[in-house]
Amino acid sequence: MEESEKYFTKPLNLFDYEQQAQKCLSPMTWDYYASGAWDEITLRDNHAAFDRIKLRPRVLVDVSSRNFTTKILDQPLQMPLLIAPMAFQCLADPDGELATAKAASSAGVGMVLSTMSTKSLEEVAQVYHSQTPDAPLWFQLYIHRDRNLTRALVERAEAAGYQALCVTVDAPVLGRRERDTRNQFTLPPGLQLANLTTLCGLNIPKQQGESGLFTYFAQQLDPSVTWQDLEWLQSISPLPLAIKGILRGDDTVRAVACGAKVIIVSNHGGRQLDGAIASLDALAEVVKAVDGRAEVIVDGGIRRGTDILKALALGAKAVLVGRPVLWGLAVDRQAGVDHVIEILRNELDLAMALSGCAKLEDIDSSLLVVGC
């Protein structure tokens, strides 16, 4: 047994994974994954919002058997969880997004692949669908300045079998993450933006190193994108749209009117506008504005099974989980992601039993006390 293995203690929860991951990652990679914008107020508040909500459990309910299977866009989930889109996963593990896809598919949970992945969307789809052909695999997309780049990515995602486009709308420009600026963050040699390097026939400049491609990608963010661009996107693809980055009821109404089938309540993990409302604090308003016309997912700050329970009680159909997956990758590769998902499943199961909920339909707002 190696010296490092002798002192390895299997994490009990997602906070343990976070602590161990920091020891496994370089300072630059840790800061890239863990940081938020500016003073990181929103980053911290995303989880604190869950602590502000208390539970009122029901008692003397038969919870001898629990079931938390569900569907999103009529696609089956073994629990109400999808893995959030996250860039550069090969910084945490050489297999990166492929390891994440294997863990997600074997657990029967969904996955949203980032455009900025370090494994190609085709490779990830092949791995994911080889095990769970019907579970949700979505492709995260920005509408770029170069619409041909956008079109090419959409066509590839459709051809590879992705079942929805997850359009990120809260990044007309990049937020400022000061930890990355201090570190002068760049991709190390050998890592690539796999979905760009495989594109042919587009006007992608030949720059040295993958950091050049990263710079090019950042320059493709288009601050002129409007609601009309969602209509254009639907004109080039039949894939349903999940709109990620909504925090307001009026924006929700606009998104649904533009044809969105899923609204993802998100502040980009606190990485865009610092001081923005916590995702959980925006959830009830968005659910009310949706009024049953689309499905609602929330992300940001979920670290416990009770957090998932609270999100569902406020009206979410499922949740996205991001950084803890990276911590699992960093600590124990695919097995680490397997365990992160298992921890959340077991904690949700226990939280439901102790709250008097045998199935997801039993979870409602009567379980909650807000602002205690």
CA atoms within 13 A on the CB side of 38: 9
- Tell me the average pLDDT across 158-173: 97
The H or E element containing residue 158 is helix 147-160
User: Could you tell me if 52 and 370 are in contact, meaning their C-beta atoms sit under 8 angstroms apart?
Assistant: yes
List, for residues 110-157, the tens digit of each pLDDT value. Answer: 999 999 999 999 999 999 998 766 789 999 999 999 899 999 999 999
**Residue 222: domain span:** 3-53+65-349
Residue-level pLDDT at 325:
98
List, for residues 176-210, the tens digit of each pLDDT value. Answer: 999 998 998 888 888 888 998 867 555 555 554 44
Q: What are the tokens at 50?
A: 């869950």
245 is in an annotated binding site: no
302 is in an annotated binding site: yes
User: Could you tell me if 36 and 177 are in contact, meaning their C-beta atoms sit under 8 angstroms apart?
Assistant: yes
For residue 230, the one-letter residue type is L
Instruction: Tell whether the model's pLDDT for residue 278 goes beyond 90.
Output: yes
Residue-level pLDDT at 202:
57
* 104 located within any domain: yes
> What's the rounded Cα separation, in Å, for the pair 21 and 70?
31
Pairing of strands 295-299, 262-265: parallel
* 147 located within any domain: yes
Residue-level pLDDT at 51:
97
* 367 located within any domain: no
87 is in an annotated binding site: yes
151 is in an annotated binding site: no
339 is in an annotated binding site: no
> What's the rounded Cα separation, in Å, for the pair 141 and 367?
36
The residues near 150 (Cβ < 8 Å, ≥ 6 apart) are 141, 142, 143, 144, 233
Residue-level pLDDT at 1:
39
213 confidence band (pLDDT: 50, 70, 90) = low
* 371 located within any domain: no
Which residue among the candidates 129, 144, 268, 339 is catalytic per the annotation?
Answer: 268
* 370 located within any domain: no
Torsion of Cα atoms, 28 then 32 then 35 then 37, to 10°: 120
271 is in an annotated binding site: yes
147 is in an annotated binding site: no
CA atoms within 13 A on the CB side of 265: 35
Torsion of Cα atoms, 92 then 94 then 100 then 103, to 10°: -120
Q: How far is CA 352 from the centre of its chain?
A: 23
Estimate the crossing angle of helix 96-107 against helix 121-129, to 10 degrees.
30
Residue-level pLDDT at 4:
45
117 is in an annotated binding site: no
What Rg value do the Cα atoms of the chain yield, rounded?
20
> What's the rounded Cα separation, in Å, for the pair 19 and 79?
26
96 is in an annotated binding site: no
Residue-level pLDDT at 208:
46
Task: Looking at mean pLDDT, say which of 51-55, 199-203, 208-212, 219-223 comes out highest.
Answer: 51-55
Beta strands in 136-269 (DSSP E): 137-141, 164-168, 241-246, 262-265
Whole-number average pLDDT of the chain: 93
163 is in an annotated binding site: no
Q: How far is CA 147 from the centre of its chain?
A: 24
User: Could you tell me if 265 and 286 are in contact, meaning their C-beta atoms sit under 8 angstroms apart?
Assistant: yes
* 359 located within any domain: no
Beta partners for residue 71, in sequence order: 76
Share of the chain above pLDDT 90, in %: 85
Q: How many domains does the chain have?
A: 1
* 133 located within any domain: yes
Q: What are the tokens at 15?
A: 């906070």
- Tell me the average pLDDT across 248-267: 98
User: Could you tell me if 295 and 353 are in contact, meaning their C-beta atoms sit under 8 angstroms apart?
Assistant: no
- Tell me the average pLDDT across 327-355: 98
> What's the rounded Cα separation, in Å, for the pair 163 and 325?
22
User: Could you tell me if 165 and 240 are in contact, meaning their C-beta atoms sit under 8 angstroms apart?
Assistant: yes
Instruction: Tell whether the model's pLDDT for residue 360 goes beyond 50.
Output: yes
279 is in an annotated binding site: no
Residue-level pLDDT at 209:
46
Residue-level pLDDT at 132:
66
**Does the active-site annotation cover 268?**
yes
Domain of residue 251, CATH code: 3.20.20.70
* 369 located within any domain: no
6 is in an annotated binding site: no
Instruction: Tell whether the model's pLDDT for residue 50 goes beyond 90.
Output: yes
